[in-house]
Amino acid sequence: MKDSILLFKKEMIAIFRDKRLILTITLIPFIFIPAIFYFNGIGQGTKPIKNFIIAYNEKVPFVSFLQQYNFQTVKIIDKSNALKFDAWDVFIYSSKEDTLLKIYVNAAKSSSGGIIKTMERYYLSFRGVYIRDQLKSMKIPINKVIPQTVKIVRINENKNSIVSFLLPFFILIYLFSNAIGVGLDSIAGEKERNTLQLLLVNRISRESILFGKLFSTMTVSLTGAIFSILGLLVLYVFKIIPNAGSTLLNVTPANFTLFAVIIITLDMLVVSILIIISSYSRTVKEGQGYILPVYFIILILGMAVMNPDSSIVSNFANWPFINSLLSMQNILNGDIHVGYIIWTIASNILFTIIILKAATVLFNRESVIFRK
């Protein structure tokens, strides 16, 4: 272990000197999730908006109602011109022939979902006010017509939030993508550059070399995962997505510890896969060829787990990677299944040991180390 720590420290010197790598493992994960949330409006789809312009042909009571709430409105006479949506996003058309009020929304606009939500909400409100006023004028008490008023109260707002699905997926991606470069370079790269022999001829066991490389690669990939979580907290601090950070902040310290242990053991598994591929490969390029299919499988699994109710996920819930992602989702949602989490951690450790054992066998083979 002493030799592994020595090698780990040496590897870290080179890693910290590589400014491009440092930027890749810190800045990119830090800004990537906030950027995705911000530019795609993830989590904002149902949020009503008010900054749009409403055109109308007749000042019907609903238009007057909207004007009371300071919506920007503009009167248009010609219906065909109104549907070109030159400077407005909504056109309220009132026909003299029938009583139907048509509300046209420019669906080409990215915020059309929010506009429709707003229009529906204000129309419901308008209808309520209108009915109440009509009943009042007819001297009919409102509770004769509507026996109860309804108020919808949101609870468990953080459960099944988009963050609880996306964050585990992004953590897995960062663990993998950040480790690929360093992990492949750590052995295959050294073989390619002929620097590995310097180590092999010294008094350090092959196991110690593998562990030293494992620790340094793990540090790099974990840094990326930590920065992606920090990026998410930034969303919360700057109120870009109020829900985003609160999902994390609502996790108790005990559960957060479990979350961290899952990430660390998942990282061990990810990096051990890279280490065995790196041990076998003659060059980094060859290693990339082997890792790419593995990476795609992990990506597909990660995406499948975003829909935890799917049959694929429930059939393979005990498998590595899937169990880690599901356990992380559960912790973020506050659904703690201790047995499942223990199995997840144990399986990550077990598979890591098996893979590292196989890597050691490979690494001890002359035909692999001196393969040309």
Partner 1 sequence: MILLKDVTKVFKQKNKTIYACNDINLAIESNQIFGLIGPNGAGKTTTLRLISTLMAPTKGKIDVNGHDTIKEQDTIRAQIGFLSSDMTLPSNYTPRELLLFFGRLNNLKNEILSKRISEIVEQLNLSQYIDVLTQKLSTGNKQKTLIAISIIHNPEIVIFDEPTNGLDLFAAQSVLKIIKKMRDDGKTVILSTHNLAIAERTCNNIAFINKGKIVETNDVQSLKKKYDKSLEDIYLDII
Span interacting with partner 1, options 8-16, 116-124, 136-144, 274-282, rule CB under 8 A: 8-16
In b/e form, how buried is each residue of 181-199, taking b as 16+ CB within 10 angstroms? bbbbbbbbbbbbeeebeeb
Binders of partner 1 in range 29-68 (CB under 8 A): none
Other CB atoms within a 10 A radius of the CB of residue 159 amount to 13
Closer to partner 1 by Cβ: residue 68 or 197: 197
What is the nearest approach in angstroms of partner 1 to the Cβ of residue 325? 35
**Binding of partner 1 by 361 (CB under 8 A):** no
Closer to partner 1 by Cβ: residue 47 or 193: 193
Among 68, 95, 195, 252, binds partner 1 (CB under 8 A): 195
Binders of partner 1 in range 201-260 (CB under 8 A): 201-204
The enclosing H or E element of 81 equals: helix 79-82
CB 165 within 8 A of CB 333: no
Closest CA to 60 of 96, 90, 87, 85: 96
**Binding of partner 1 by 23 (CB under 8 A):** no
Span interacting with partner 1, options 1-9, 79-87, 267-275, 313-321, rule CB under 8 A: 1-9
What is the nearest approach in angstroms of partner 1 to the Cβ of residue 190? 7
Binders of partner 1 in range 277-306 (CB under 8 A): none
Residues 134 and 117: their CA atoms lie apart, in Å, by 26
**Binding of partner 1 by 10 (CB under 8 A):** yes
What phi and psi, each to the nearest 5 degrees, are found at residue 73?
-130, 155
Phi-psi bin for 239: left (phi > 0), alpha (psi -120 to 50), beta? left
Closer to partner 1 by Cβ: residue 155 or 198: 198
Residues 248 and 238: their CA atoms lie apart, in Å, by 15
What are the angstrom distances between the C-alpha of 225 and each of 175, 179, 292, 298, 308?
6, 11, 20, 16, 22
**Binding of partner 1 by 144 (CB under 8 A):** no
What is the nearest approach in angstroms of partner 1 to the Cβ of residue 26? 18
Closest CA to 248 of 187, 167, 152, 341: 167
Closer to partner 1 by Cβ: residue 203 or 239: 203
Report the interface residues with partner 1, using CB under 8 A.
3, 6-7, 10, 13-14, 17-18, 190, 193-195, 197-198, 200-204, 366, 370
